Amino acid sequence: MEQSDVTTGGPAAACPSCGGQPSWESVLDGEEERWLATCRCGRMRAFLPEQPALDPEDPVRAFLLGPGRPTFPPSPPWIRLFLASVEGRDAVRWRYCHRPCRGCGVSASFGMQSCPRPAVFAICTLCVACGHVTASYSNPARGLVEAPVEGREWAPPCPAVQRLRDCLLRPYSLLRVGGWRVSAWDELEGAA
């Protein structure tokens, strides 16, 4: 970079917030060069030699993607949870629910069954259109059935969302594709 970079806000320029000297990183993307400054005060600045007067609103995005490239909003948390649950070796056995969602009225709900704790059976539904969750716990051995909880607050999670997460994320809770997996019984069957 040349001395003219100082006047255009390029790599030789001081931080406009604190006057300190930021550290610069560069990336080459084909013929395009982009720079990102990170100062000790926390301020970041992007410098694009092809457009020296541009002061991007999001310097990290401009540095990583370049100016004007579209970014897509993140998928909703319920979609990320749903997709993560159907991938991998122990995919969840979701089943389509034919009735409309109680939250939005769209017929886009899926249900699953699990055992989040010993002797506790759970039935959960998730609407992929709006994120509405229902979760119902029961203990068949004792004849207990809890009233279902409903909600669609994902951050922080409402009780229904927290119960759904518990059912999906506890490693022993799911009804797996190959049926129940109980290590003691698996070992007994292997010995026979």
* Residue ranges making up the domain that contains 51: 4-65
Output the average pLDDT for the chain: 81
More confident residue, 130 or 47: 130
Distance, CA of 48 to CA of 61 (rounded, Å): 12
List, in order, residues 6 or more apart from 120 with CB less than 8 Å away.
137, 138, 139
Same domain, 105 and 160: yes
Same domain, 18 and 108: no
> Under DSSP, is residue 20 helix (H, G, I), strand (E, B) or coil?
coil
- Distance linking the first and last C-alpha atoms of the chain: 75
Does residue 57 register a pLDDT over 70? yes
Is 120 within the bounds of a domain? yes
- Per-residue pLDDT tens for 1-25? 443 443 445 566 788 888 888 999 9
CB 137 within 8 A of CB 163: yes
Does residue 116 register a pLDDT over 90? no
Same domain, 126 and 84: yes
At 189 the pLDDT is 42
Distance, CA of 182 to CA of 1 (rounded, Å): 65
Q: How confident is the model at residue 109 (pLDDT cuts 50, 70, 90)?
A: very high
Does residue 149 register a pLDDT over 90? yes
Same domain, 106 and 149: yes
Burial (CB < 10 A; 0-12, 13-18, 19+), residue 98, is: exposed
Which of 9, 72, 66, 68 minimizes the C-alpha distance to 43?
9
User: How many independent structural domains does the chain possess?
Assistant: 2
- Per-residue pLDDT tens for 65-88? 877 777 678 899 999 999 999 987
Is 181 within the bounds of a domain? no
